[in-house]
Amino acid sequence: MSANGPSWDQAVLRPPVCDAWKEITEEAAYQLASCIVLLGYMGGSGIFGSLYIFGLLAPGYFCYALWGWLSACGLDIFIWNMLLVLACLLQLAHLAYRLRRNTIPEEFDLLYKTMYLPLQVPLEVYKEIVKCCEEQVQSLVRDQNYAVEGKTPIDRLSLLLSGRIRVCQDGQFLHYVFPYQFLDSPEWESLRPSEEGTFQVTLTAETDCSYITWPRKKLYLLLRKDRYIARLFSSHLGYDISEKLYSLNEKLFAKFGLRFDIRLPSLYHVLGPASSEGESEDCEELLPGSGQASVSEPPPQPPPRRLRAPGRPGPTVTCWVRTPPVLSWKILLSCRGLLWTM
């Protein structure tokens, strides 16, 4: 140890006492740096809190470096504070990269807030779902067909983001598909992963529409790999099919005053024979604006979404989970068939 200074044990056990305090304060750069650093350490947690902290620490340490260079004339003070400034800038660059990587397009952000955030789905899980559809938004112009009856193969699953789709079969109007509803949930549930088939209905855009689509094989691989995503899709598909069933049931009630209990699996045996007989009506008879008094009626509105997270009170799709997927699809087709005979 140097003879001019105390040893380490003396400095720790018996620290020297200041003989006298300075009568003048430090320069303005030192005071400004202390205030900025104090404000910086008041930041919160999370990525935005870290941006706040390092965004204030960087100029604070820079002011310390200026004070060490211009006032204290200490090379070590200047070097150490410049190293701290560099570390803060690197942290800011890393945080900005993370923030940009976590940013998703506006359409997918709105989809997350509408369908997945109420179910408390983690953002990382949602990104896996979006990645499966390659983050691409497809579009349909007015009167363009999404699928043609008996011709379009069932090789995808699509979700409508905006617009309105009309569903018909043999010219008979069945129901509408509104935003944040699946376009082809019955067709998806009707086939096993190894089976192939074609659409039994025609889906036509009534307005300019946008939708996202998952390729069938790619989505099956994702569902097989992640059971949580598989349960999530099962809930959404079951809810979507039940909404289509209820819309068809409302048509039956409006015509005959009969409201079937579609929650019962035995409904298929009631509706099955009726679906094989009857004559088809013209689709224009049920469409708004077909030359009758319905021209002045407002366009149909989508039903409110009532899907809840598992374990939370409120309407759920448990009634649909009890029914096998293939049977649920058959019930929907049977309801459609009963409408065709009217």
Reply yes or no on whether the pLDDT at 291 is more than 70.
no
Q: How would you label 205-244 residue by residue, b for 16+ Cβ within 10 Å and e otherwise?
A: bbeebebbbbebeebbebbeeeeebeebbbbbbbbbbbbb
**Residue 21 pLDDT:** 73
* DSSP at 112: I
Helices (H) and strands (E) in the chain, counts: 12, 7
Query: 80 by DSSP, 3-state: which?
Result: helix
Q: How confident is the model over 184-222, as pLDDT tens digits? A: 888 888 888 888 888 988 999 999 999 999 999 999 999
Looking up tokens 């363009």 gives 144
For residues 250-267, average pLDDT: 52
CB atoms within 10 A of CB 260: 18
Find residue 214's DSSP bridge partners: 157
**Residue 182 pLDDT:** 93
- At 239, which amino acid appears? Y
**Residue 253 pLDDT:** 55
- At 174, which amino acid appears? L
- Dist. CA 47–CA 147, nearest whole Å: 44
Band (315; pLDDT cuts 50, 70, 90): very low
Q: How confident is the model over 81-101, as pLDDT tens digits? A: 999 999 999 999 999 888 877
The CA-based angle 63-68-69, given to 5 degrees, is: 95
Delineate the domains of the chain, giving CATH numbers in brackets.
10-102 (no CATH), 106-286+301-340 (2.60.120.10)
Reply yes or no on whether the pLDDT at 333 is more than 90.
no
For residues 135-141, average pLDDT: 89
Higher-scoring residue by pLDDT: 30, 276: 30
CB atoms within 10 A of CB 262: 23
**Residue 16 pLDDT:** 67
C-beta of residue 178 within 8 angstroms of C-beta of residue 311? no
Reply yes or no on whether the pLDDT at 255 is more than 60.
no
For residues 147-171, average pLDDT: 90
Go through the chain and tell me how many residues it has. Answer: 342
CB atoms within 10 A of CB 108: 19
Tokens of 20: 């006298």
C-beta of residue 209 within 8 angstroms of C-beta of residue 139? yes
Q: How many CA atoms lie within 13 A of 302 on its CB side?
A: 17
**Residue 53 pLDDT:** 93
Higher-scoring residue by pLDDT: 302, 80: 80
Reply yes or no on whether the pLDDT at 269 is more than 60.
no
Reply yes or no on whether the pLDDT at 302 is more than 70.
no
**Residue 133 pLDDT:** 87
- At 312, which amino acid appears? R
Reply yes or no on whether the pLDDT at 108 is more than 70.
yes
Poorest-confidence range of 15-19, 23-27, 52-56, 111-115?
A: 15-19
Higher-scoring residue by pLDDT: 148, 317: 148
Query: 69 by DSSP, 3-state: which?
Result: helix
**Residue 82 pLDDT:** 94
Higher-scoring residue by pLDDT: 258, 277: 258
* DSSP at 151: T
Pairing of strands 172-177, 202-205: unpaired
